[in-house]
Amino acid sequence: MADFPTVRLRRLRRTPTLRRMVRETSVSVNDFIYPLFVEEGKNIRKEIDAMPGVYRFSPDTLAAEIKEIAALGIPGVILFGIPATKDETGSSALEPDGVVPQAIKTIKDAAPELVVVTDVCLCEYTSHGHCGVIENGCVVNDATLPLLGEMAAVHAAAGADVIAPSDMMDGRIGVVREKLDQSGFQDVPVMAYAAKYASAFYGPFREAAGSAPQFGDRRSYQMDPANAREALREVAADIAEGADMVMVKPAMAYLDIIRRVRETFDHPLAAYNVSGEYSMIKAAALKGWIDEKRVAMELLTAIKRAGADLILTYHARDAARWLNEKE
């Protein structure tokens, strides 16, 4: 093995073009899925306090936003619904003309080629803000499953291209797959939030989606941030139940999990660059403490380098613009 001075690693860093030629990882607009919050009502376009540049839209104001997203070349969006009414079992999640089905129709009219992923979980629709049905103060697993299956079928019937269950109940992927197949949607893929951690980085999202739990927390169903081997069991279980794609959430503090999943499974892997990660960058950039573009692109590159194929990110619109600029 040659050594210094024969070996000089700096030789290939000398010019921008040389660096571009030997670059191992590149982030592309094709990697992005842009999260959208859709709220029941009319004429709503409300910026989320803790997430500058991210808005809640009512279905009627969504079309302009969708056209911009499609024009930037972003291939997909993921929808989170905020219903007008909430109850104990999240029944507004199952309405065929609910806020998400309405939004899907708007999107399909505005940009038919855009892939519409829908988040399937009850927490935005339940009065208590938990991801499942409550009995005796506990989130019960098995009673929640048929509701998730039903919600998935409602979204598929409205035209969703991909169903993304995010609840972390055991067995949900199998139940969702079976319900989709029985309902004639055997060609609609499932992207499982497979390794989803009970993370404090979700804070700003809960403001955005109005889904903070009214009591307790989500640690009895979402994963313990300290566990890595368990993530592989979660991913394996979801794949065995029929997941077409899997996800790790959050991304920034879980790059090792992304890497482990990448090395163990061949399924397309998504990573969710969550609200808290976005808000930290935005807040520091607003203070003038960091360079927003460089920090955001460095993070997106790191997520890709760790092994993600797809990145769900609130930076998608800005990053698409940055990627289209000449260096």
Which residues are designated catalytic?
A: 196, 249
Instruction: Give dist(CA 161, CA 256) in Å, integer.
Output: 29
Nearest to 72 by CA among 318, 326, 327, 304: 318
Asked if residue 244 lies in contact with residue 235, where contact means CB atoms within 8 angstroms, the answer is no
61 vs 126 by CB, closer to Zn ion: 126
- Token readout for 141 is 């697993």
Asked if residue 261 lies in contact with residue 233, where contact means CB atoms within 8 angstroms, the answer is no
69 vs 131 by CB, closer to Zn ion: 131
Amino acid, single-letter form, for residue 155: H
Interface residues with Zn ion (CB under 5 A) are 121, 123, 131
Amino acid, single-letter form, for residue 88: E
Nearest to 296 by CA among 120, 47, 32: 32
R_g of the chain computed on alpha carbons: 20
Q: Which residue has the tokens 């842009």?
A: 34
249 vs 317 by CB, closer to Zn ion: 249
Q: Which residue has the tokens 């990110």?
A: 313
Q: Find the farthest-apart pair of alpha carbons in the chain and give their distance in angstroms, rounded.
A: 71
- Token readout for 51 is 């997430």
131 vs 243 by CB, closer to Zn ion: 131
Residue 168 Cβ vs Zn ion, minimum distance, rounded to whole Å? 8
In Å, how far are 134, 150, 184, 312, 313 from 78, measured between CA atoms?
26, 18, 22, 8, 10
Q: Please give the DSSP secondary-structure letter assigned to residue 30.
A: G
Residue 256 Cβ vs Zn ion, minimum distance, rounded to whole Å? 24
Residue 121 Cβ vs Zn ion, minimum distance, rounded to whole Å? 3
151 vs 255 by CB, closer to Zn ion: 151
Q: Please give the DSSP secondary-structure letter assigned to residue 109.
A: H
Please list, in sequence order, all residues whose beta carbon lies within 8 angstroms of the beta carbon of residue 121, skipping any fewer than 6 positions away.
131, 148, 165, 166, 167
Q: State whether residue 245 is helix, strand or coil.
A: strand
124 vs 241 by CB, closer to Zn ion: 124
Q: State whether residue 120 is helix, strand or coil.
A: strand
Residue 111 Cβ vs Zn ion, minimum distance, rounded to whole Å? 27
Residue 123 Cβ vs Zn ion, minimum distance, rounded to whole Å? 3
